[in-house]
Amino acid sequence: MGHSIHNACAVALAISCLIVAASAGSFYDEMDITFGGERAKISNGGQDLSLSLDQYSGSGFQSKHEYLFGRFDMQLKLVPGNSAGTVTTFYLSSQGAGHDEIDFEFLGNTTGSPYTIHTNVYSQGKGDKEQQFHLWFDPTAAFHTYTIVWNAQRIIFLIDNIPVRVFNNHEAAGVPFPKSQPMRVYASLWNADDWATQGGRVKTDWKNAPFTAYYRKFNANADKVGPNSRSTSSVNDNQAWRTQGVDAAGRNRIRWVQNKHMIYNYCNDRTRFTNGLPAECKRSRFL
- Catalytic site residues? 101, 105
Prior bond of 227 cis (ω within 30°): no
Residue 260: strand, helix, or coil? helix
For the sheet containing 262-265, what is the strand order? 31-35, 59-63, 184-191, 86-93, 101-107, 116-122, 131-134, 262-265
DSSP 52-114: EE-SS--EEEEESSEEEEEEEEEEEEPPPS--TTEEEEEEEE--STT--EEEEEEE--STTSP
Q: What is the C-alpha to C-alpha distance for residues 66 and 96, in angstroms, rounded to an integer?
A: 14
